[in-house]
Structure 1
Amino acid sequence: MRTPHPPQPSYPPAPGPDPADSDATLAAALREPAAEAEATHAVAALLVRHWEPVRDYAAICTASSENAAAVLATAAFDKVWQILRRSEPTAALRPQLLVTVRDMAKAWSTDRRVSALLPESRKPVNGREMRTSNVMAPENRILASRSFQAIPADAQCLLWHIEVEAEPISSPAALLGIDTETALAELEQAREKFRSGCLRAHVELATNPECRYYSRLLDVPIRRGGALLPDVQRHVEECRHCRYAAEQLSHFDGRLGVLLAESVLAWGGRRYLDTRPARRRPGSAPAQSASAPQPPRRHSPPGRHRHLPRVTPAGVRAVLARDNAKAVLTGIGVGSAVLLAGLLAASLWPDSSNDAGPATPGGATATRTAAPGSQAPTASSTFPPSGTPTSPLRTRLRNAAADLCLDLQDRTPKAGTGTKLAACSSAAAQQWSYESDGLLRSVAEPDLCLDSHADDGVIALGQCAGPKTPDGADVRYDLTLQGRLIPRWRSELAVAPASPTAGSEIVVKIRNESAEQVWLIDSATASPTSRTDARAASPPARSATTRPPAGDGLALPLSRPLPSVRPLQPAAGNRGVPPAPPFTADADTPAAYGTRRAESGAGHGAYGT
C-alpha cells in the first residue's frame, strides 16, 4: 500500500525519453525532402540503434564473411528507408529490418547475377537452404505470425525488444519516446493483445467448425498452468490445428521470445535469438529468458478473464462424439461404474416408446453413489408426458457428477457475470426459471438470462432476448429427459462444468454421454389439475431414491415434463446398453424444439456453420 508521503530521492530523477528521438519520429523525418539535415540525422541515429542486430542476422542468412553480411544489411536498410519515405512511419523498425534482410537473402540466393557479384550468397552452408526453404512462418507458428502482424506497432516494438532481444524496459521505452512506467503498463497490454490475436486466429483459421469451441477451453487451463480437460486433450491429440494452438499458447509463460523469433523470422529465428548479447552475457537477467521458463503469470487485467481449477482425470469418460461418430464408454473404474449404472437406470437411456426412460420393475430404486464425504441428491419423481403444458419451472440446477449446483461467480448479478459450480444452497444466485419457450432466466435478476454464446463458450449472464430476435437462441435451451441442457443455437453442444469440482466454470462442450453433462432439478409444485392430468396420461412411474443434500434438505428429482432430443448412439459392441431410437418430432415433442432440429448449427458469429 502506498504511503501518504513517500520519501523523496536524494537526487533529481533522470529526464524521460524525448519523444522527438523516437524511432517513429526519426522515420517521419525521412519523408520531409526539404529538411535534409533532419533526414541525415535520422538516418545516422537509426543506423546506430539497429545496425548490429541487423548485421548479425544478415550473417546468419549468408553464413559468409563479414563483408557479405555488411552488404546485405546495408541493402536492407536502404530498402526500408525507401518504404518509410512512401508510407506512414512505424515504431517497430527492428522486426521490419530483420524481415527485410531475410527476404533479400532469399532473393539474392536465387539470382545468378547477384551471385556473380557476391559468391558468398550461394555458399552451400546457407545459400542452398535459403533457395529451397520456405521463409514464411511454418504451420506450427501461423497463429503467432498472424497475431503479431495484427497488433499495433508500439506493441510489436515492446514485445520484440523485451522478449526477443532481452533488453531492459528502458530500451524500447526510448525507442517509443515514453517513460519506463508507461512502457511496463503497455508491455502487459501488448502480451495480452498478442495472446488474444493467437486465439482469434485459431478460430478464424479452423477448417473444422468443432475446433472453434475449443479455443477458450485451450486458453484458460494453459494460462493457469494446469492440464487440459480430458475431452479437450483427446481432441488435441487428434487435431493438428488445435495441437499447434496449444503448443503456441504454452510459450506465453517464459518462452515468448522463442515463439516470436520463430514466427516472425521463420528462417534462422533460433540462431538469431542465441546471438543476442543480453542472452549470451553471463549473469544477465533479461526481462524474459527463453531458456528458463517462468512461473505462470496473469497478463490480463482483472475482470473478464476467469481461471479454471486444475483439471483432474474424470471417473467417467466418453470419447468425443463428432459428426456421425458414436459414443463409446471407456475408462470406467469400479466406483465410477456404480455411478454410471445408477445414472443409466435413472436418466441416460430412453426406451423406444416415449423417450421417458425404462421403468424400474417392481418399484426398484436407483441410487447414485456420491464421492466420499459428500451428500447425494434426492432424485425421485414421476415423468409426465413431454407434451404437458407447464408454467415456468423455478429450480436449482445440480450437476449429477459433481453434486454441486450452478451458481454465479459474483453474488451481485449483472450482465457478464460468469457461472460456476458451488455447494447447493437456497441462495437466490442458484435459483433459475426455465420457461416454456426454453428461456433460462435468473431469479436473482429477472432481466438477465444464461447466455451460452457471448463469451467463447463460457456461460455467463446476458440480457434476456425474445425468441425471434437474433440473440434469442443464445439464452434458450432444451432441457431433456436425460437431464441435459442443449443450447438452442447448436444442438451438438451441451452445458457442463469445465471439471466436476467446486469453483469450476460452466461452459459448453460437445455432447457426449458423460455424467458431467447431466443436470438434476428441484421438486416442482404444480397445480392440482396439471398434476392430475399429467399422472393420468403418463406411463408407469419411475423412481430413484437417494439421501437429501446436507444443509437445506431440498431434493432434486427430475420431475417436470421436459422435451427430448436425439441421444448419441452407443457404439457397436457395448454389451448391455440398449440402442436409442431415432428422433421423430411427434405429438409429444414440443413444436418449438421440433422446428429447431432443421435449424441446428445455424448459429451466428464465429460459431455459425
Structure 2
Amino acid sequence: MHTPHPPRPTYPPRPGAAPGESDESLAALLRAQPEGELAQSIPLLFARHWQPTYDYSVICLASKAQVASMVTAAAFQQILDRLKRSESAVALRPQLLVTVRDTVRAWSAEDRISDVLPELRKPAGGRGMRATKSLTPENRKLAERSFQALPGLAQCVLWHTEVEAEHISVPAGLLGMDPDTASAALDQAREQFRQGCVRAHRELAPNKDCRYYNRLLDVPIRRGGALLPDVQQHLLECRFCRYAAEQLSHFEGELGVLLAESVLGWGARRYVDSRPGRGHAGARPGRSGGRRPRGGGRHRLLSQFPTGGRRAPHSGWNAKAMLTGAGLVTGAGLVAVALLATLLVTTMWSQDDGATDPSSPGASGTNGPSAGPSAGAGPQAPPAGSSSPPPALPTLPGETRLRNLAADLCLDIKGGKAKSGAATKLVACSSAETQQWSYEEDGLLRSVANPKLCLDSHVDAGVVVLGGCAAADAKRGDDVRYDLTVRGELLPRWHEGLAVAPSSKDPNADVVVKIRDRTDEQRWLTDGSTASPESLSIAGTGAPSTQSADDRPAEGAGAGHPGEILSEDLVTGSDSDAGSGPAPQSVVPLSVHESTETTV
C-alpha cells in the first residue's frame, strides 16, 4: 500500500524560466492571449509550481496513483481560470495548494466520482477530509486570519522562505524583484503577520478579560520575558488566549509549521517536512540577520504545552527557567503541571493498603478512591528533600476491552483470529480474547490474543489493522503507538490531527483513523470506570506519581512534538484543558475486573 508521504524531490526548486519574469507578468500574458491560441505563459507557470502542487496532492490523497496528477491538473485549471478573470497571481503557490485540498474534499463527497476513483475513499485521504468539520485547527485561527489579510507580496515571501524553505532569490524571481528588496520585504512581512495575529486576538476575543490581556501577552512574548502571574493564571483558564500565546511563540524562530497549518490544515506538517530545502537548514543568504537559531535564547511554548502528535525529540525540561526571562509564557505550563499533579494526588491517588502516601501533598486526612492497583503497582513519590529524582508518571500495561462510546460496541479482530494484517471492526462486547487489548507505557496498543501484534493505523492507509509491534525508535515505531487524551481519544503518533474511530456506528464497521473532531465516535471506554467527560483517561494502569517542579514530562503517552497541532488535553504533562470544564474527579486503572467503565 502507498503511504501518504511523498518522495522527496532530488532537485532544487525552480524559480522559473526567465529571470525577472514574475508570476504576475505571466498571468498578464495569459489574460492578453487571444481566444483559442495557446498561452505561452502556461508551461512556464507549470514548470514553477507543478511539482510542489503534485506533492501536496499525494499527501491529501494518501496515494501516488494517477488520481494525484488528475487533482493537480484540476487545481491548475481552476487557478488559470481565475487568473484569466484578473485575479492576482502574486502568491500563486499557497493558492494552488489550497485548491488541491478543496478539490480532493469536493471530489470525495461525490459518490459518482469516488466510485471511479476509489483512492478518494482512503480514511487518511479524501474520506477523512470529507468527515472533518473544519480543515483549519482551532489553535491556528488567528494565524489563518492574519495570513489572509496580508498583501500578496508578503504572502509570497513568507510562504516560499518559511514553508518551502527556499532561498530568498526564489520568491524574488517569482515577484520580479532583486533578492535584497525581497529580503527587506520578508522582514516586513514577518512583522505584519505577527501584528495581524495580535490584532485577530483582540478582535475575536470572547470577553473583555481576553482583550485586556492582549498586550500583556504580546509584549513579554516578543521580548522573551516572563509573563505576569495573573496572565499565567489566565492562560490556565482560557483556551483562546492559550492558543494565541502558542501561535505568537512561533515568531521567535521558524514560521513554516505555523503557516502551513494555518493555510492548509490537512497534511501541513507532512508537506513542510517533504520540501527539498528543508534538509538545508541554517541562515539563508539575502535575509537580514539570517535565521534565528531554533532553541536559542527563548524556549518555544510548544515544548511546554503538550501537542496532539508525536513525542518531543528533546525531552529536557528545566522548570526553573520557565519562570524567568528564558521562559516564554512557560510559567503557565509549570503552573498547569503543578495544578494537575495536586489534583491527581489529593483526589485521585490509588492507595497502598488504604493509606495515602505520606509524602504526597494533601495526604493528611485525604483518602483517594480504592479502585487503584494492588500495593506496589505504582511508584511512590520520594520523601521531601530526597536527592534522588522522583520517578516519571507510571504507565504500566493493563488488559481491557475498548468500547466505542457512540456505538456501544467493542473493538475486535476481523475473522476472529489475531494474525498480521487482520483488520479490526466493531462488534457486540463479549469475553472473547480478541477483544482484549493492552496499552503499554510507551504507547503501544498490543493484542492480548497475540502479544507479538499491535494496532497499526498507518500501514493500510489509515485502516487500523494488526501489525508487528515495533520499538519506539524503529521506522514503524509511531505507526503502532498512540497518545491518550482525557476524553478517551486515541491519537496515532504518526499523524498530528487524526484519531482512532469506527467508519460508522453499525456492527462490523471498520475501525479507521479520522480527522480529530472531539465527537463521541472518537472516544473509547475501558472495563473499569465512568464515561464522564471529566474522567481522566490513564496511560496504562499506574496512578500518577507526584512530580517536583524540576521533573521532565514522562516519555510515554501524551508527550508532544514541537510544532504540531496543539492538543492540550493529553494525559501526561498536560494542563488538562484547564478552564474548559470541571476538574477531573476520578481516575480508575485499566482492569477487566471492575464493574463500571472509564474512558481510555
Q: Same fold (TM over 0.5)?
A: no
Using the size of structure 1 for normalisation, the TM-score is: 0.44
* Rg comparison, structure with higher value: 1
Q: TM-score when scaled to structure 2?
A: 0.45
